[in-house]
Amino acid sequence: MTVDLDTLASELAAGEAQPVATEPVTLVIFGGAGDLAHRKLLPALYNLHVDGLLPPRMAVVGVGRKDIGDDQYREFARDGIQRFSRRSLDEERWDSFASSLFFVNSAIDQPGVFASLGSRLDIIEHERGLAGNRIYYLAVPPALFVPTVQQLSHARFVAPADARPFSRLIVEKPVGRDLASARAISDAIAAVFDEHQIYRIDHYLGKETVQNILVLRFGNSFFEPLFNKKYIDHVQITVAEQEGIGTRAGYYEQSGALRDMIQNHMLQLLALVAMEPPRSLDADVVRDEKLEVIQSLRPLEGEAVDMATVRAQYAAGFDLGAPVPGYKDEPGVSRSSRTETFVAMQVFIDNWRWAGVPFFLRTGKRLPKRASEISIHLKEVPPILFNRDPHRRLDPNVLTIRIQPDEGFALGISSKVPGPRVRIYPVNMDFRYGSTFGGSSPEAYERLLLDVMAGDATLFMRRDSVEGSWHWITPILDRWAEQTTDPLPTYGAGDWGPPEADRLMESAGRSWRQL
């Protein structure tokens, strides 16, 4: 069944509509001429403009080292929209959007340069009738987070907490490389911005299917009673990337899959699946429940790390039939690198709801396909009635939440095949966003940027959650840092990881779900 979108729009208007930013605002993007702005931020802002969700008066000011003017920046934005937007560019709407785009050439890490930036912002805000509300987006390398925030403070660009006009800060991941560095960055930012002014962005939390996890669990009476150790055998969370590191060797050599994916994206997905029902949808209430999950993770330290984790690097192989190099042969990667491009692990949540239920996390680059999904595996039917034949066991029920690319969810059930004999066959009850609601789903950055403008922090990470994740991850990093002699396992590009990952599952009596 396809939903009538006009009917849906009227229903949303009568109920709880999506957040709409109404206060005039200036969005200042540090790194505004970089790859993130080109591929994600500017296309997202354009789509919000087309949907009529941006404030009626707004300015987007890119800041960076490139010596370009406003017109060149608008061409840069136009190119990004034409190449990466989920919808094609409409000339009339582009003209009205382009008039809000500006660029200021400024070296962020040099003292005193924000004076000229401040003068330009004052002129833009005066000409466009803006009230001085500002959102500062740190789309810059992590090493520039603290210098940029300190420059904002020295230039007196930051309004006090709860003041009008407001000041807000968006911070891209990664926040730190371990617990100590994360705390140092947070301390420096906290010296300038109050916690409720800070929006730590994890684009996975803006994806439609991720937002739908709470609705799936707490908006359907038959699902929530199943999410506990009585009915769930285990949970698998997979984030697979088909591409290699590309031109990001400088970043990835300092990061690796554990920091890049597990510490933020995947622990946040785990928290959404495992959290207790929040008493309300208030941002801090939801984030409190997610924090409880992070803090309940069973620690992995010392030899326990060796038993519960697998790390590996991709070797040479094939991508869509074309040969591709191994990780150590990528430009910018050291031949002696021990940076992991694949991680698999078994973790436990030590609380009353989930005690004893294993959660398996798996992520890697150069895997056979790009796919992210959560699969909740229910316990087997008892070996009686239709499941009594040991040679023809029924498949356990599996609830699959597909995050990308084919957004939706499916429930696998057993059904009788039509006919006089009793034959059982597994079938899928399948929901797909595209076929049900039509069109393309909004990109994650569209929702997240809109939420910052509306002042809704629900989908953003709080400091205690970031540091809680690092507190759990850091002992794993420490253990791996001690192991400098044994070679890392490898897997061919285009494979689903090394054999050690399969053995990890086999030792627990399970197997990885085929995506």
Check whether 10 has a pLDDT greater than 90.
Answer: no
SS3 183: helix
**Domains in the chain with CATH codes:** 22-172 (3.40.50.720), 205-507 (3.30.360.10)
Q: Write the pLDDT tens digit of every residue in 377-401.
A: 999 887 777 777 777 777 888 999 9
Going by pLDDT thresholds of 50, 70 and 90, the confidence category of residue 428 is confident
Which of 207-216, 290-299, 476-485 is predicted most confidently? 290-299
Q: Using CA atoms, how far apart are residues 25 and 453, in angstroms rounded to an integer?
A: 8
More confident residue, 73 or 436: 73
Short-list 209, 216, 254, CA closest to 433: 209
Check whether 12 has a pLDDT greater than 50.
Answer: no
Q: Which long-range contacts (CB under 8 A, 24 or more apart) does 505-509 make?
A: 505/360, 508/234, 508/346, 508/358, 508/360
Within 10 A of 114 (CB to CB), how many other CB atoms are there? Answer: 22
Q: Using CA atoms, how far apart are residues 250 and 102, in angstroms rounded to an integer?
A: 30
More confident residue, 56 or 28: 28
Total residues found in the chain within this entry: 515
pTM for this predicted structure: 0.89
Active site residue 154: no
Sequence-distant (6+) residues with CB within 8 A of 161 are: 193, 194, 196, 197
- Count Cβ neighbours within 10 Å for each residue of 494-503 and write b for 16 or more, e otherwise: bbbbbeebee
Short-list 445, 412, 473, CA closest to 199: 445
Residues 92 and 49: beta-carbon distance below 8 Å: no
Check whether 2 has a pLDDT greater than 60.
Answer: no
Catalytic residue, candidates 49, 234, 265, 471: 265
Mean pLDDT value across residues 103-108: 86
Q: Using CA atoms, how far apart are residues 221 and 512, in angstroms rounded to an integer?
A: 29
Mean pLDDT value across residues 318-347: 93
Q: Write the pLDDT tens digit of every residue in 151-187.
A: 999 888 988 888 889 999 999 887 888 999 999 999 9
Percent of residues, the chain, with pLDDT higher than 70: 95
Residue 19: what pLDDT?
A: 57
Residues 412 and 428: beta-carbon distance below 8 Å: yes
Q: Helices (H) and strands (E) in the chain — how many of each? A: 17, 17
Residue 384: what pLDDT?
A: 77
Sequence-distant (6+) residues with CB within 8 A of 112 are: none
Max CA pair span of the chain? 84
Going by pLDDT thresholds of 50, 70 and 90, the confidence category of residue 358 is very high
